[in-house]
Amino acid sequence: MRTLRTLSKYKWALAFLVSCLLAFLGPTYIIYALEKLELVWPLPTVLGFSLFVVGFLSIAYILSRMRP
């Protein structure tokens, strides 16, 4: 119960952290991992850059909600 209160207190910070990880890990490590799984060429690139876009859109949304 105490953990849930702590997480809800820092929900915007955690959301920002996850968004930054998506924006960074998407085009770097996700593409690399999917290519190591030997998926066909456009799929790893499309998924990686999709995560990149989702991460930056999330960052923009979070920053717009935090400003008064």
What is the tens place of the pLDDT at every residue in 29-51?
A: 989 999 999 989 899 999 999 99
* Res 1 pLDDT > 80: no
Q: Mean pLDDT, the chain, as a whole number?
A: 89
Helical ranges in the chain per DSSP H:
2-9, 11-25, 31-36, 42-66
Q: List the chain domain ranges.
A: 2-66
Name the more confident of 62 and 7: 62
* Res 61 pLDDT > 70: yes
Mean pLDDT of 56-60: 93
CB 29 within 8 A of CB 55: no
